[in-house]
Structure 1
Amino acid sequence: MDADSCPVIKEIVEIASKFSIEAVFVASYAHMKNDLQGQNWVFVDSYKEAVDLYLMNHVKKGDFAVTQDIGLASTLIAKGVYTISPRGSLYEENGIQTALELRHISAKARRQGFYGKGPKPFTEKDREKFIKELNMLLSNFKICSRNHN
């Protein structure tokens, strides 16, 4: 999990426990926490892409990842990783290119001095959608893997 500023850590811990999945949280030293909630944490350098690079180098096909970084999500999808945002949106191969293009257009506009409102505040409705979607994703995965054994 890309744990730098992740608003659903507690929920990930609970869901991972429910499905007997090991959750690994990756964060930069700049985001180090005192309460690690008894989970596996990996801390990396604080340079800009350190968390992303760690995740890209350590995930395997079939893993699950939570990130709000569209660029990282596109890389993980290409590696066969199921990727979901903290707001509960599943990143999929057929929609990621559009998301990357929109991100590029927004970045270009910001460089030209146009600043939007930024992302909407994270809401309780976002949290509920994340919980529902991650539970469904892991339930479906569990059923599929059981059928293949």
Structure 2
Amino acid sequence: MRVLVDADACPVKDEIYKVSARYKVPVVVVSNAIIRIPQSPLIKRQIVSDAFDAADDWIAENASARSVIITADILLADRCLKAGASVIAPNGKPFTMASIGGAIATRAIMADLRAGGDAIGGPPPFSKQDRSRFLSALDETLTRQIRIGRE
């Protein structure tokens, strides 16, 4: 089991490192450039090219039923779910096979509105509640993965 992090814009990397240490679960931080990571045998850095979607492609190709993926990218979440992985957004919202279709549809609608010149704004600012919800979701997901691994 391991956690794969879409790290370029991830606001919860420090939380991932702490939870990883508690559960002794390896983490792979995937990015297009060098990102500072703590000195730990559990945390590895995977630098990919700066080609469009290179980090997403690496994560999707390495996702499996024993992976927990951290990403806000809906299309990457869809690819990872199809590979059997568990996927959590940095705000703590889990992506599931039941919810991903609606998320993709909403994303497409918002893209169409933006393309049409509508000023629709962006997501709300990242909050303490988001951070707390993320920690709970990651803890719950890792606990479930560990339990499944023992069965």
Q: Does 1:74 align with 2:74?
A: no
Partner of 1:4: 8
Structure 2 counterparts to residues 1-149 of structure 1, below 5 A: 1-29=5-33, 32-33=34-35, 35-38=36-39, 39-146=43-150, 148=151
Q: C-alpha separation between the residues in 2 aligned to 1:48 and 1:37?
A: 27
Q: C-alpha separation between the residues in 2 aligned to 1:66 and 1:138?
A: 12
Q: Deviations over 1:36-92 (max 9, x none)?
A: 212211111222211101111122222110000000001100000000000111100
Amino acid at match of 1:37: P
1:88 match: secondary structure: coil
TM-score with structure 2 setting the length: 0.91
The more displaced of 43-52 and 73-82 is 43-52
- Which ranges in structure 2 are unaligned for 5 or more consecutive residues? none
Between the aligned residues of both structures, percent identity stands at: 27
CA spacing shift, 1:141–1:61, aligned 2, 3 Å: closer
CA apart distance, 1:140: 2.0
Q: Deviations over 1:89-120 (max 9, x none)?
A: 11000110010000001001111111211011
Q: C-alpha separation between the residues in 1 aligned to 2:149 and 2:58?
A: 27
CA apart distance, 1:26: 0.1
The more displaced of 50-59 and 98-107 is 50-59
- Which ranges in structure 1 are unaligned for 5 or more consecutive residues? none
Q: C-alpha separation between the residues in 2 aligned to 1:63 and 1:90?
A: 14
CA apart distance, 1:141: 2.1
2:6 match: secondary structure: coil
Give the number of equivalent residue pairs.
144
